[in-house]
Structures are given as C-alpha cells and as structure tokens.
Amino acid sequence: MTTKTAPRTVRDVMQLHVMSVTPDMSVRRLVQLLSTNRISGAPVLDESGKILGVVSSSDVLRLAAQDPGVSFGGGLWREPAARGEEGNDEDGEEVPWYFTTLDPGLTFPEEGLNGELDDYLVEDIMTPAAFTIAPDEALSEVARFLYRGRIHRALVVDHGMLLGIVTPFDLLPILIEREEPFAAGPSGSRREG
C-alpha cells in the first residue's frame, strides 16, 4: 500500500509547461497569447533560452494608462443590468455582482485592439528582473517569497536553466487539503463557533 506524501518543495508543485515570449514579440501578439492561454504573464527569454525578465497583463495595463493612444476598443467589458445584481457561476452558485462585471470568456478580438499595440514590443514594457527560486526550496519559502514580493509568479531555475514556474494557484490546493479536516458548511465555508 502506498501513501501519498504531502508536497514539500517547489519541485513538487511547479508547472513544467511554461509559456514564454521573446523580447521582439509585439504587445498585440502578447495580449492574444495571454488571453488564449488564460495566463496573466510569462517569462521573456532570448533565442538561447536565457531569462531576460517577465511580462504580465499589468505591464500591458500600465502601457495603456501611460499612452493615451493605446486602448482596447469596445466590446471587452459588459455592464451588469443593475448595480448589485447577482449572477450564477457554472455550478449554479450565486456570485456577487463585482465578479460578474467581467465577461468570463474575456478575449481580445482583432477588431477590439487598436493598432498602437503593434508599435510596442515586449521589451518595451517587460520587467527586466525575474523573480527566481530553486526547485528544492521549501514550499513555505516560495509562499513567503510570493507574498512579501507581491508577485504572481516565480520562475524555477537551476544552473541558469528555466525548469518551471510556480504561482499562488499552485500553492492553494495544498492549503485547501490541509484545511479539509476542519468542519465545513454546506457551501464549503467554515462554520462559525
């Protein structure tokens, strides 16, 4: 009989498939790639695989905020019928109005993006520093690292080679599994004493 051991290191939880981009990619192509793959950022690698930095949707939003000529056109956001209106998720659970204002199938269609995004490259907006961590670091260390740095991803690197990526979403299942022994209400929320 085998028993499942709890994950202990970054290697145990890291994602091995890492979507990366190049510094010469247009911001338009970056936005499409992030949207299509439902990710919020990616490492920037040169042609030899060297890590140059990271780029995220926050960098794209910063560009749009700084350059009034850059916008995303219409059709990306839907307005709720009335403020305070509740919606339902795919399981039929009620979702507060502030989570229903974003279309769950948010995409960036060609006609919704202004041509100005073609004028910018990833290297123009990326963060030239990458937050890296070793694969054998303890999970508590990567959690502290992400939390203290207020960052959304850490690149897992060994001897300069990108091995994977770890995000808060890779750590949350572990926290949830640790909490399962506690009493939960019918909707999964904790019961108050």
List pLDDT tens digits, range 24-69: 999 999 999 999 999 999 999 999 999 999 999 999 988 888 877 7
Helix intervals (H) in 132-189:
139-149, 168-179
| 49 located within any domain | yes
Q: Does the structure show a pLDDT above 90 at 90?
A: no
Report the pLDDT averaged over residues 136-150: 91
Residue 117 in contact with residue 27, Cβ under 8 Å? Answer: yes
**In this predicted structure, what is the pLDDT of residue 77?**
39
In a domain, 1, yes or no: no
- CATH number at 42 reads 3.10.580.10
> Higher model confidence: residue 85 or residue 151?
151
Residues in the chain: 193
Output the furthest CA–CA distance in the chain (Å, rounded): 63
Q: Residue 117 class from Cβ within 10 Å (0-12 exposed, 13-18 middle, 19+ buried)?
A: buried
The model's pTM is 0.69
Dihedral over alpha carbons 179, 183, 185, 186 (to 10 degrees): 90
CB neighbours (10 Å) of residue 119? 14
Q: Does residue 188 belong to any structural domain of this protein?
A: no
Residue 3 lies in a domain: no
Residue 78's pLDDT is 38
- Does some domain include residue 46? yes
State the total domains in the chain: 1
96 pLDDT more than 60: no
Of residues 118 and 46, more confidence is placed in 46
Q: In 3D, which of 25, 56, 24, 62 has the Cα closest to residue 43?
A: 56
Which of 162 and 67 is assigned the larger pLDDT?
A: 162
- Domain assignment present for 175: yes
Residue 68 CB contacts under 8 Å (≥ 6 apart), including other chains: none
Give the model's confidence band at 178: pLDDT under 50 very low, under 70 low, under 90 confident, else very high.
confident
Check pLDDT > 90 for residue 17: yes
Angle between helices 139-149 and 168-179 (to 10 degrees): 120
| Residue 32 is assigned to a structural domain of this protein | yes
